[in-house]
């Protein structure tokens, strides 16, 4: 018989709660539930695994969670993931937990808000994880405000307020070591949302989309390891940039089913903005040569919508999109777009990434880029998404 002893020291600092903001939900009421889940998971949890690629669907007529392959009959062409990809003509019903570090450097949050406002996506949680790595300075508390600003701009634009959950803050710490197993409202939210959804729809995994460091999800796993088998994690750039926090990335790679998209396809760098295939093209090469009404930017500007105006502002001023010789052309952390558009990933393979076996996307073509543009621009320019403007 194996006996496990867990010792816990709790320190509460009420002075840490800013006077101008509501305090974070107390962790005390959940503490013993989480400790029991953690203790149970130490000896019982098994890593969630992908199965071998299905190349002949006649030999696998009844796939299960973990099965994947390409072009399953009756389903859209492209990467098929059981539990995520739905039959032709059906609606994706998997809810999404969106977890990013800084909300202000990419545009999948704007697309996601519009999708939700149109009733085409359920956003279960919005988490901000404001940490990076020790090498680049770990703690970035200012990034919390980018999440609040993103959500507030969406509300001002007329996005349905009932489809936007509040911003929940994940791991906050001063160093990588201090961030390990760090209790946070975000980690608790992961455990709560994933378990509640799985209890109702075990055949429909929660979608987790991570565009930054995975500290909050890794800490949630330490609270309840069983969540790993109940979700699919879309992770942007786990292999390089967003995987540099080794403790977190290795836990996620080793224990969750991860779809990894990055390093070789990330940002889709073009030399000039008028070469973009995914984002709207302006008329000229460099941002200083284009105004807000240039080329396809006009389509966004003419909507007179603060969320879309912000996108154009970023095209013109943020270095990722207008840097000399580095004009990033993508919804950079939008791996989960795949669930609504399976055909955008036409190549994938099981690969070892950060010590675990993940489903790594190996091909993203110009045709794939065109399909993403058709979907995203069609959603962003749909006036029905903004009908809730007061």
- Residue 32 is classified by DSSP as H
Which contiguous run of DSSP H or E holds residue 51? Answer: none
217-228: b or e for each residue (b if 16 or more CB lie within 10 Å)? bbbbbbbbbbbb
For 131-174, write each residue's pLDDT tens digit. Answer: 999 999 999 999 999 999 999 999 999 999 999 999 999 999 99
Name the residue range of residue 350's domain.
Answer: 25-51+89-266+330-386
pLDDT for position 45: 62
The CATH number that applies at residue 350 is 3.90.245.10
Q: How many structural domains compose the chain? A: 1
- CA–CA gap between residue 130 and residue 299 (Å, rounded): 33
16 in a structural domain: no
CB distance 83 to 72 below 8 Å: no
State the burial class of residue 17 (Cβ atoms within 10 Å of its Cβ: 0-12, 13-18, 19+): exposed
Where residue 372 falls (left for φ over 0; alpha for ψ -120 to 50; beta otherwise) is alpha
The C-alpha atoms of residue 221 and residue 191 are separated, in whole angstroms, by: 8
- The reply to whether 311 falls in a domain is no
Whether 320 maps to a domain, the answer reads no
Q: The dihedral of CA 142, 145, 147, 149: what is its sign?
A: negative
The residue ranges of the chain whose pLDDT is under 70 are 1-45
Q: Which of these, 75, 14, 104, 45, lies nearest to 341 by C-alpha position?
A: 75
Query: What order do you get walking across the sheet with 231-236 strand by strand?
Result: 167-169, 123-128, 96-100, 206-210, 231-236, 257-261, 356-363, 347-353
Could you tell me if residue 290 is inside a domain?
no
User: Is 136 a domain residue?
Assistant: yes
In a domain, 29, yes or no: yes
Q: How many CA atoms lie within 13 A of 271 on its CB side?
A: 0
Domain annotation covers residue 271 = no
Q: Kindly state whether residue 72 falls inside one of the protein's structural domains.
A: no
């Amino acid at each position: 018989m194996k006996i496990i002893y867990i010792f816990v020291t709790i320190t509460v600092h009420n002075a840490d709660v800013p006077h101008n903001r509501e305090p974070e939900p107390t962790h005390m009421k959940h503490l013993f539930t989480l400790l029991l889940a953690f203790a149970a998971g130490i000896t019982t949890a098994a890593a969630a695994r992908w199965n071998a690629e299905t190349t002949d669907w006649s030999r696998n007529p009844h796939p299960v969670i973990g099965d994947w392959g390409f072009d399953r009959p009756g389903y859209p062409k492209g990467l098929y993931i059981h539990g995520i990809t739905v039959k032709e003509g059906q609606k994706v019903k998997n809810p999404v937990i969106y977890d990013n570090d800084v909300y202000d450097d990419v545009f999948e949050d704007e697309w996601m808000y519009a999708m939700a406002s149109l009733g085409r996506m359920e956003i279960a949680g919005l988490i901000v994880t404001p940490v990076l790595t020790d090498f680049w300075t770990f703690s970035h508390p200012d990034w919390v405000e980018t999440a609040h600003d993103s959500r507030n701009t969406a509300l001002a634009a007329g996005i349905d307020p009932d489809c936007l959950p509040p911003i929940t803050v994940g791991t906050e710490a001063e160093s990588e070591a201090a961030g390990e197993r760090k209790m946070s409202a975000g980690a608790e939210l992961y455990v709560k949302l994933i378990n509640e959804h799985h209890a109702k729809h075990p055949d429909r995994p929660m979608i987790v989309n991570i565009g930054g460091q995975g500290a909050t999800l890794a800490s949630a796993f330490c609270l309840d390891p069983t969540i790993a088998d109940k979700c699919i994690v879309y992770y942007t750039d786990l292999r390089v940039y967003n995987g540099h926090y080794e403790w977190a990335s290795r836990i996620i790679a080793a224990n969750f089913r991860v779809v990894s998209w990055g390093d070789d396809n990330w940002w889709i760098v073009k030399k000039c903005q008028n070469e973009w295939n995914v984002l709207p093209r302006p008329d000229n090469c460099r941002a200083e040569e284009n105004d807000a009404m240039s080329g396809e930017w006009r389509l966004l500007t003419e909507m007179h919508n603060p969320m879309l105006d912000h996108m154009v502002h970023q095209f013109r001023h943020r270095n990722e999109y207008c840097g000399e010789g580095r004009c990033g052309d993508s919804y950079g952390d939008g791996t989960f777009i795949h669930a609504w558009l399976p055909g955008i990933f036409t190549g994938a393979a099981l690969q070892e990434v950060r010590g675990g076996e993940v489903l790594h996307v190996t091909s993203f073509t110009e045709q794939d880029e065109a399909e993403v543009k058709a979907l995203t621009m069609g959603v962003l320019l749909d006036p029905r998404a903004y009908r809730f403007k007061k």
